Amino acid sequence: MKRFFCLIALFLLLSLPVAGAAPSAWFDKEFDFSKVKVVYVNDPKIASTLSYVGEAEGAEIFWKNFQPKTVTLLNVNQVLAAHQKKSGVDLMKLHETNPDESYRQFIKAVGEQSELAMYTELGRDEKGRETVEFTMNDPQTGRTVAALVESISSKKELTAVIASFAQAFSEKLTGK
């Protein structure tokens, strides 16, 4: 009986997450990342209660570790400017009078201008732990093709998670 309980306890210990373990990103095996030439990168969404990193610092960590030079990165302002040039519609002005239509047109513009849309969110999980979440969507289909959600307990850990995801995404884009 003791042996049985020892085996159960050992199994439970081995199944617990290991602190400092490398973050695990999920990438859709059926999505051809090698064909991606333009990625829309949404401004990070950061909860006001976070203490580890600010928006600019988090973006700097990501871009320092993001390697592919063959990929063009678009930000919100670039998408807005290209849409206005193409359609003559200023989405910021439209947003003041018709936010739903402005949003619909913006999402359509992202789909027309990029093969992937990346969203980053720093927040808290249901247990109050700080988390970092990356989501990549195919803007033409809305399908999620990559994701990472990781709890963090220090600035060092957050930096490691951001760097790891940037490197993993770089490898997917270059096929290495």
Q: Are strands 26-27 and 144-152 parallel, antiparallel or unpaired?
A: antiparallel
Flag whether pLDDT at 54 surpasses 90.
no
Helix (H), strand (E), coil (C) string for 36-47? CCEEEECCCEEC
Residue range 136-144: mean pLDDT, rounded? 91
- The string of pLDDT tens digits covering residues 91-113 is 999 999 999 999 999 999 999 99
Q: Which two tokens stand for residue 85?
A: 């040039």
Flag whether pLDDT at 26 surpasses 60.
yes
Q: What is the pTM of this model?
A: 0.74
- Which of 58-67, 100-109, 128-137 is least confident? 58-67
* For the chain, percent of residues with pLDDT exceeding 70: 77
Average pLDDT of the chain, as a whole number: 78
Residue range 124-149: mean pLDDT, rounded? 87
In this structure, CATH architecture of domain 23-78+115-172: 3-Layer(aba) Sandwich (3.40)
Residue 41: predicted pLDDT: 86
Q: How far apart are CA 157 and CA 145, in angstroms?
A: 24
Residue 5: predicted pLDDT: 31
Handedness of CA 95, 100, 105, 110 (dihedral sign): positive
Residue 36: predicted pLDDT: 92
3-state secondary structure at position 11: helix
Flag whether pLDDT at 10 surpasses 60.
no
